[in-house]
A = this chain, B = another copy of it.
Amino acid sequence: MTRLRFALVVLLFTTIPVVATAAAAPANVAQWDRFEVTLPGPAEGNPFADVQLSAVFTQGKTSVTVKGFYDNGGTYRVRFMPQRQGAWRYVTRSNVAALNNQTGSFNAVAPRKGNPGPVVVKDSFSFAYASGAAYVPVGTTIYAMVHQEDPLLERTIASLAKAPFNKVRLCVFPKWYSYNHVEPPRPPFVGDGQGRFDYARPNPEFYQHLEKQIDRLAALGIEVDLILFHPYDENHWGFDRMGRENDERYLSYLLARLSSFHNVWWSMANEWDFVKRRTVEDWNRLFDLIAAEDPYRHLASIHNGTKFFDHHRAPISHTSVQHPDVRRLYAWRKEYGKPAVDDECEYEGNIEAPWGNITPQELTHRFWVGFVSGGFVGHGETYVAPDEVLWWARGGELRGQSPSRIAFLRKFIEEAGGLSPLPDQWPFDRTPAAKQGNRYVIYFGNHQPSIFTSFMTDQLVKDEPSLKTATWRFEILDTWNMTRTPIPGVHKGKFSVTLPGQPWMALVATPTK
* Interface set of A (CB-CB < 8 Å, partner B): 306, 324, 346, 350-355, 357-359, 361-362, 384, 426-427, 430-431, 444, 446-453, 455-456, 501, 503
Residues in B with CB closer than 8 Å to A357 are: 444, 447-450
A352-B451, A354-B431, A452-B352 known; A446 and B384 CB under 8 Å? no
Contacts of A450 in B (CB 8 A): 350-351, 357, 384
Q: Which residue of B lies closest to A349 (CB)?
A: B448
Contact B361 A453 (CB under 8 A): no
A353 contacts across to B, CB distance below 8 A:
427
Contact check: which of B306, B446, B451 meets A362 at CB < 8 Å? B446
Q: How far is the CB of A142 from chain B (nearest CB, A)?
A: 21
**A103: shortest Cβ distance to chain B, in Å?**
57
Q: A359-B503, A503-B359 are in contact. Are A354 and B446 (CB under 8 A)?
A: no
Contacts of A358 in B (CB 8 A): 446-448
Point out the residues of chain B lying under 8 angstroms from A359, CB to CB. 446-448, 503
Query: Shortest beta-carbon distance, A277 to chain B, in Å?
Result: 21
B446–A352 touching, CB < 8 Å: no
Q: Name 12 A/B residue pairs within 8 A (Cβ), A-sorted.
A: A346-B430, A351-B449, A352-B456, A353-B427, A354-B427, A354-B431, A354-B447, A357-B450, A358-B447, A359-B446, A359-B447, A361-B503
Q: Report the minimal beta-carbon distance from A118 to chain B, rounded to whole angstroms.
A: 35
Most buried by B among A384, A447, A453: A447
Residues of B within 8 A of A456 (CB): 352
Complex CA gap A384/B496 in Å reads: 13
Contact partner, A453, options B346, B352, B449, Cβ 8 Å = B352
Give A294 to B306 CA distance when docked, in angstroms.
47
Q: Are A451 and B351 in contact (CB under 8 A)?
A: yes
| Minimal Cβ-Cβ distance residue in B for A355 | B430
Instruction: List residues of chain B with CB within 8 A of the CB of A384.
Output: 450-451
Chain B residues contacting A503 (CB-CB under 8 Å) are 359, 361-362
A358-B448, A450-B384 known; A430 vs B324 contact (CB < 8 Å): yes
Complex copy number for this chain: 2
Known contacts A359-B448, A361-B503, then 18 further A-B pairs from the complex at CB < 8 Å, ordered by chain A residue? A306-B426, A346-B447, A350-B448, A350-B451, A351-B449, A351-B450, A352-B451, A352-B453, A352-B456, A353-B427, A354-B427, A357-B444, A357-B448, A357-B449, A357-B450, A359-B447, A359-B503, A362-B446
Residues of B with C-beta under 8 A to A446: 358-359, 361-362
Give the shortest distance, in Å, between A453 (CB) and chain B (any CB). Answer: 6
Minimum Cβ distance to chain B for residue A85 (Å):
50
Which B residues lie within 8 Å of A447 (CB)?
346, 354, 357-359
Contact of A350 with B430 in the complex, beta carbons under 8 Å? no
Given A359-B503, A430-B355, A503-B359, A350 contacting B306 (CB threshold 8 A): no
Q: How far does the alpha carbon of A124 sit from the alpha carbon of B271 in the complex, in Å?
A: 37
In the complex the two chains form, what is the Cα distance from A499 to B453 in whole Å? 44
Whether A455 and B352, one on each chain, are in contact in the complex, defined by CB atoms closer than 8 angstroms, is: yes
The residue among A350, A355, A444, A455 with the most chain B CB atoms within 10 A of its own CB is A350
Please give me the residue from chain B that is nearest to A363 by CB atom: B446
**Which chain B positions have C-beta within 8 A of A427?**
353-354
**In the bound complex, how far is the Cα of B426 from the Cα of A281, in angstroms?**
26
The answer for the CA separation of A446 and B355 in the assembled complex, in Å, is 11
Taking CB as reference atom, which chain B residue is nearest A453?
A: B352
Most buried by B among A306, A431, A451: A451
Chain B residues in 8 Å Cβ range of A501? 350
Look across to chain B and name the residue whose beta carbon is closest to the beta carbon of A504.
B359
Which partner residue on chain B sits nearest A354 by CB separation?
A: B430
Interchain CA distance A350-B444 in the complex, whole Å = 11
CA distance A57 to B448 in the complex (A): 55
Chain B residues in 8 Å Cβ range of A426: 306, 354
Residue of B nearest to A447 (CB): B357
Minimum CB–CB distance from A416 to chain B (whole Å) comes to 24
Most buried by B among A426, A430, A448: A448
The 3 closest A-B pairs by CB, nearest first: A354-B430, A350-B450, A362-B446
A261 to B452, CA, bound (A): 43
- Kindly provide the distance from the CB of A21 to the nearest chain B CB, expressed in whole angstroms: 55
Task: With both chains docked as a complex, state the minimum distance between the C-beta of A271 and any C-beta of chain B, in angstroms.
Answer: 12
Query: Nearest residue in B to A428 (C-beta to C-beta)?
Result: B354
For the complex formed, measure the closest distance between the CB of A208 and the CB atoms of chain B, giving whole angstroms.
39
CB neighbours (8 Å) of A346 from chain B are 430, 447
Report A488 CB to chain B, min CB distance, Å.
19
Q: Which residue of B lies closest to A305 (CB)?
A: B426
Knowing A426-B306, A430-B324, say if A449 contacts B352 (CB, 8 Å): yes
Closest chain B residue, CB of each to CB of A456: B352
| Shortest distance between the CB of A426 and any CB in chain B (Å) | 7
- Considering the chains assembled together, what is the distance between the CA atoms of A452 and B353 in angstroms? 9
